[in-house]
Amino acid sequence: MTHTVNAPHTQLTGTDLLVTVDAVREVCDGIREVRFAGAHPLPSFTPGSHIGVRWGTGTQNPYSQNSYSMTGPTTDPDHYAICVRRDDAGKGGSAWIHALQVGDEVIITRPRSAFAPISVARHHVLIAGGIGVTPILSHVRAAVQWNRSFEVIYSHRPGFGALVDELGDLCGDRLTVVHDVAAFWSHLNPVLGDSPLGTHLYTCGPAVLIDAVATAATTAGWPAQRVHSEQFASAVSAGGKPFAARLGRTGVLVPVGAEVSLLEALLERGVAVPNLCRQGVCGECKTTVRGGRIDHRDFYLTDDERAEGDAIMPCVSRAAGDQVELDL
Ligand code: FES
């Protein structure tokens, strides 16, 4: 059976790819790996990149799209692989992917990098929490390929170690797997204290893990430029109090309901806003703000940019008051 892709092929844009499900595999309870193959060569990509997967049945918002880190080979790939944890409390994207079958056609975006390794780093400390292992595996493949110095700490619940075998094969004794907080810190703290100058630290996982690692690194004297992170999409809520977005160029007022993002409201109104990750990570949807206070929820803008208050990432951020005016 072939799923109906949620947008006609004629609506493929320059950043889209039409691919076919090549293989599916349950890697552990509730987590599924899906491999896509293309009719034409698939572009190589930077380790840690992600793709947007459009999903739906055609009766839903035609722009429904989830973003997933890529776990497969990065250079001249014969397939793209993603690993998706089913979230039954989510909007349905992960369940849709868990229902895909071999042969189904899917529209994806071209890979986009937002969590790339630093090629000149002297050593890489890679930390994965739960399904945050996906971009870390991509980093590990590249580190092995280019003979870079690295080590991995992978924290997951017993029985929920997605991709742990692949990671073990690539890492050997450079992989440490932990199942509780005490073991995690007893391994990481000495690493933070002893790593050679020029080491870079990368964390992917839930916000609480990322924040704790960043705080520990800062306390241990690591400069912010050597601490990198990527957070789960599910940790970001784009909902909140209803408000209105005024389109500054036309004066049109777009209401934004409690359960929809500003980006979704704009797209439904026919306002073209470029977007990719819908997680506040990639920067693609950055929109100039002419007025109104902003409730920033993204991971893209710097503190200084937030303080200036003239840009918003509408995929996750909202007005802090009743209205925000956009340069659209
Ligand atoms: S779409 Fe990526 S930051 Fe908004």
Which CATH number does the domain housing residue 285 bear? 3.10.20.30
Nearest CA to ligand 1 atom 3: 280
pTM > 0.85: yes or no: no
Distance in Å, CA 8 to ligand 1 centroid = 23
Number of independent structural domains in the chain: 3
Closest CA to 110 of 62, 68, 64, 50: 50
- Among 109, 143, 173, the domain boundary falls at 109
Mean pLDDT by 10 residues, the chain (328 residues): 49 80 93 92 93 72 76 94 88 89 92 90 96 95 95 92 94 95 95 94 91 95 93 61 95 92 91 82 88 89 88 94 96
Please identify, among 44, 78, 109, the residue that sits at the C-terminal boundary of a domain: 109
CATH number at residue 53: 2.40.30.10
The helix/strand/coil state of 135 is helix
Predicted confidence at residue 158, as pLDDT, reads 87
CATH code, domain with 187: 3.40.50.80
d(CA 96, CA 104): 12
What is the reported pLDDT for 63? 56
Q: Which residues lie closer than 8 Å to 226 by C-beta, 6 or more apart?
A: 118, 121, 199, 200, 201, 217
Are residue 203 and residue 165 in the same domain, yes or no?
yes
Tell me, yes or no, whether 104 lies in a domain. yes
Give a yes or no: residue 4 inside a domain: no
Q: Does 191 share its domain with 265?
A: no
Q: How far is the CA of 109 from the centre of ligand 1 (A)?
A: 13
Q: Which residues are CB-neighbours of 301 under 8 A, at least 6 positions away?
A: 286, 311, 313
Distance 67 CA to ligand 1 centre (A): 10
Q: Domain check: are 152 and 68 in the same one?
A: no
- For a mutational test of ligand 1's pocket, the pick from 51, 112, 236, 277, i.e. the residue with the most ligand atoms closer than 8 A to its C-beta, is 277
Structure tokens given for 65? 């799209």
pLDDT computed for residue 23 by the predictor: 97
Domain-embedded: residue 207 = yes
For residue 84, what are the domain limits?
9-109
Structural tokens at position 114: 């937002």
Report the interhelical angle of 164-171 vs 133-145 (nearest 10°): 20
Residues 189 and 225 in one domain: yes
Residue 250: CB atoms within 10 A of its CB come to 9
Note whether 255 and 286 are same-domain residues: yes
Spacing, Cα 299 to ligand 1 middle (Å):
9
DSSP 125: E
Residue of 54, 110, 315 with the most ligand 1 atoms within 8 Å of its CB, for mutation: 315
Task: Note the pLDDT of residue 208.
Answer: 84
Answer whether residue 101 is part of any domain. yes
27 lies in the same domain as 81: yes
| 75/26 same-domain check | yes
| 152 is a domain residue | yes
CA of 45 to the centre of ligand 1 (A): 19
Looking at the fold, whether 161 and 201 belong to one and the same domain comes out as: yes
> Does 61 map to a domain?
yes
Q: Which of 51, 69, 284 to mutate to test the pocket of ligand 1 (most atoms within 8 A of CB)?
A: 284
Q: How far is Cα 45 from Cα 141, in angstroms, rounded to an integer?
A: 12
Same-domain status, 228 and 249:
no
What is the position in ligand 1's atom list of the atom closest to the CA of 316?
A: 4
In a domain, 114, yes or no: no
Quick one: tokens of 122? 């002297």
pLDDT at 8: 45
Expressed in angstroms and rounded, the spacing between residue 56 Cα and the centre of ligand 1 is: 19
Statement to judge: residues 102 and 16 lie in one domain: yes
- What's the gap in Å between 280 CA and the centre of ligand 1? 4
Of ligand 1's listed atoms, the one at least distance from the Cα of 313 is 4
Please give the distance, rounded to the nearest whole angstrom, from the Cα atom of residue 325 to the centre of ligand 1.
19
Residue that finishes a domain, picked among 48, 77, 109: 109
- Indicate whether 267 and 205 sit together in one domain: no
Q: Quick check: helix, strand or coil at residue 70?
A: strand
Residue 117 in any domain: the answer is no
Give the binding-site residues of ligand 1, using a 6 Å CB cut-off: 275-278, 280-285, 298, 300, 313, 315
Pocket test for ligand 1, best of 53, 278, 287, 305 (most atoms within 8 A of CB): 278
Looking at the fold, whether 216 and 294 belong to one and the same domain comes out as: no
SS3 state at 320: coil
Phi, psi of 296 (to 5 degrees): -75, 130
